[in-house]
A and B are shown apart, each in its own frame.
Chain A
Amino acid sequence: MSSLTSPEVGARVLPARPSASGGIERWVERHLRWILPAPAVIAMALLLVVPLVYTTYLSLHEWYASSVLGPRFIWLDNYAQLFIRDERFGPAFRVTLIFTVGAVALTVTLGLGIAHLLIRNFPGRGLVRTLVLLPMIATPVAMALVWMTMMSPTIGVLNYVLRSVGLAGSAWVSSPRSVIPSLLLVETWMWTPMTALICLAGLATLPSEPFESARVDGASGWQIFWHLTLPFMRSTLVVAALFRTIDALKVFDIVYVMTEGGPGFASETLNLYVFQTSFKYLNLGYASALIVVFFTLILGASMLLIQVRRSPL
């Protein structure tokens, strides 16, 4: 009988499984689009939204983490101070922005390049792929310390290498002029494997037919890269850039370990400034206002990238 009907009809003709839970099953089936993500959504709401609401509430208060003097409501004074009188906010904002743009550009470009190397077939590919991922698996604080010793202006191995090829050694993180590039070098080293991994996954899922026909038609490597790989990889690249943007805006560990925001305030990022405000000065109300602004900034940047992902080329 089913051979006579079209598949769609056949599906309806099939008898429903006779079971006591049939009603529940049908209900689940109908609302599956909400049931599947529900546990994750509830968990995130509890872990995230509630604390954020509390932080926003605190940002309208003055509170120095004291149990004797509770939070005092001061309207928008924290925000007024932040935008008008704060002399550390602006520079921290600029440092964060420069760092982020540099970090995203470097890690995504290099990541795509490395993924291109690793997608090929060559002897020892499995081993090389594992080795390339190692920096990502190493722990940021420990590796930041290793880079510190390598970047030591006097006994560091990097300056030794530079000098032995006839270049002048650098002051690395001890000079305001070279501190940001130095941190970018460490950031690039640490996170390029992640973008490479994402790009590798993207490259692996590319359909092979367009590439084969392009090769048959005699397209050059660059032509294939510009006209096929990049458009096909756009979504993957935007996701990689998105993750990197968010993480780079929030950069904390390597900066905290290597410079603590110094020399002076030359490498103080927003996250570092918020940290100092809340846990060094215990100015929790003001820190909360900073957090709200900081979060809005990250949210804005991410929305922009998501728009890029959605919009047609």
Chain B
Amino acid sequence: MSLSRGLRRGTFWCLLILTLAFLLFPLVWMALGSFKTQVDFMAYPPRWLFRPTLANYEKVLIGGDFLKFTWNSLVIAAGSTAMSLLLGVPAAYGIARYHQTRLGVAMLAARMAPGIAFLIPWFIVFSKLRMVDTYPAVMLTHMVVVLPLVIWVLVGFFEDLPRELEESGLIDGCSVLGVFRRIALPLARPGIVATAILGVNYPVALAATGGIPPYKWGLTEGSVLPTGITLASTGQFSGVPTIVNGEPPAFTVQATDSDSPA
């Protein structure tokens, strides 16, 4: 008994360590690389021990607009997530409580549409509204990705809430809206927080890629850069505006990695 238990515990820890090694190694490698000089970075066999340098960080933090870009990413992520929660929480509750599965599926359709499908129409609309190059425009476009996610995750949470609690609220004379506010919402709070984390992650990720590529850069003059670009120590990002026949200017984003042989 105790032998088999010890064996199982050993297997468990082995699997856990394997998982962590797989998931964390690239991040560790990136972190190590950020302290390396060009020579150390290009060395083969790869150098595990080297004299660390802070020059890369100096370049990123002092030389460039990195902090401003990070701020942009955060504002857009927070804004689009807040808007999505505001619209998504009541919608998720409605869908869960009244079993509006069709509506849920329709919302999901939004997630399926390739972002590239929206770029041109959006740009035309936003330029008519003089909203190009503003935070709200980018937040709105991100909402298309975040809102369906918020709704779908939260529908699951609301469906799992014990129905009895809400019913007893109704019986005691609470309105449906009151039940939502006083019972369902507080109970679902952990779920909502978890969803918010998921939601924030998406815009940041999108900001990094320039969206499903073109739209982010088309709207923000290449000012939104991801937070995780410490890699800039060995490469660089640049946005080049190209204007074609006076039509909506498109940004071509070039991610060059000066150290790896292309």
Contacts and interface: CB of A to CB of B under 8 A. Distances in A.
Interface of A: 7-8, 10-11, 14, 25, 28-29, 32-37, 39-41, 43-44, 47-48, 50-52, 54-55, 58, 65-68, 113-114, 117, 120, 122, 128, 131-132, 134-143, 145-150, 152, 154-155, 157, 160, 189, 192-194, 197, 201, 205, 235-236, 239, 242-243, 246, 250, 252-253, 256-257, 271, 274-275, 278-279, 282, 284, 287, 291, 294-295, 298-299, 302-303, 306, 310
Contact of A37 (B19, B95, B115, B227): B95
B209 A36 contact: no
Q: Is the interface of A mostly helix, strand, loop or mixed?
A: helix
A278 B152 contact: no
Contact of B147 (A43, A148, A243): A43
A148 B209 contact: no
Chain B interface size band reads 35 or more
Interface string B226-262: 1111110011000000001111001010010101110
Contact of B141 (A47, A65, A67): A47
A146 to B, nearest CB: 5
Contacts of B117: 51-52, 55, 291, 295
Interface of B: 12, 15-16, 19-20, 22-24, 26-27, 29-30, 33, 41-46, 86-88, 90-91, 93-95, 97-98, 100-101, 103, 105-122, 125, 140-141, 143-144, 147-149, 151-152, 156, 160, 170-173, 175-177, 180, 194, 198, 201, 204-205, 207-210, 212-214, 226-231, 234-235, 244-247, 250, 252, 255, 257, 259-261
A99 to B, nearest CB: 15
Shortest 7 CB-CB contacts between residues of A and residues of B: A36-B94, A139-B208, A51-B121, A139-B226, A40-B91, A37-B91, A253-B209
